[in-house]
Copies of this chain bind each other. A is one copy, B any other.
Amino acid sequence: MSLERTVMREQIKELIIRRILDGSYKPGERIVELQLVHELQVSQAPVREALRDLQAMRFIDTEPYKGARVRALSRAELAESYPVRAMLEELAGQLAAPRADAELLGRLGAELQSMRTAARRHDQHALLMADARFHELIVQTAGNSVLLDTWSSLRIEAFTLVSMVTSNLDLVAIADAHLPILDALRGGDAHLTGKVMREHIATFADHLLTGVTT
């Protein structure tokens, strides 16, 4: 769908993100501009602009004349992000409930199925992607662009993955935990949907961070 594959800065940015997520760049590691310049055979300017973007996305920390480091997203920071996410999704649920139509419910149901399939295969990555799409669909349906931008900026899915691989969660239970959300949306009750979503996030965060397997 994206009609732009030509802006180097974007390609560099995506490359770095991939490397952070797959562990090629470890937390705290320096990212040296000239090193990327040599490796990718590009000039310094697009590399620097990509790093500016990544800084805004909170993937890296930079200091003037001292360069960029992969953000050490500690368990503590992940823990801090969940209360924020819970509030945002409560709002999303409240706003989305009156707007939930058959199409949305259908797509959410499909993602739920994907989650269950992934859970049976013990495929954490696939589960998390479907999970992220499920929640994103609801936030989009809320129809508030500031909410969507704010929620997206948390990049929970990226950061969750890092912690998830070290936990030992009951994947099937995680998938099934989305059913109450679907039910609440189907009922169209704004207040209830918001409450269910906030509790859903709080429960998930609790399990993820304590390692309890439900």
User: Which A residues form the contact surface with B (CB < 8 A)?
Assistant: 4, 6-7, 10, 45, 48-49, 52-53, 55-58, 64, 77, 80-81, 83-84, 87-88, 90-91, 95, 144-147, 149-150, 153-154
Contact = CB atoms under 8 A, between A and B. Distances in A.
Nearest to A64: B7
A58 B56 CA distance: 11
A30 to B, nearest CB: 19
Contact of A84 (B6, B48, B55, B88): B88
Contacts of A4: 64
A129 B146 CA distance: 22
A83 B147 contact: yes
A55 B88 CA distance: 22
A147 B84 contact: yes
Nearest to A149: B58
A80 B77 CA distance: 27
Contacts of A153: 150, 153
A80 B45 CA distance: 36
A153 B84 CA distance: 13
A10 B154 CA distance: 24
Contacts of A154: 146, 150
B144 A83 contact: yes
Given A80-B146, A83-B95, 5 more contacts: A6-B64, A7-B64, A84-B150, A87-B90, A150-B153
Contact of A87 (B10, B48, B88, B145): B88
Most chain B CB inside 10 Å of its own CB: which residue of A53, A87, A144, A150 = A87
B91 A84 contact: yes
14 contacts: A45-B45, A45-B48, A48-B49, A52-B56, A55-B56, A56-B57, A80-B146, A80-B147, A83-B95, A84-B88, A84-B91, A84-B144, A87-B90, A150-B153
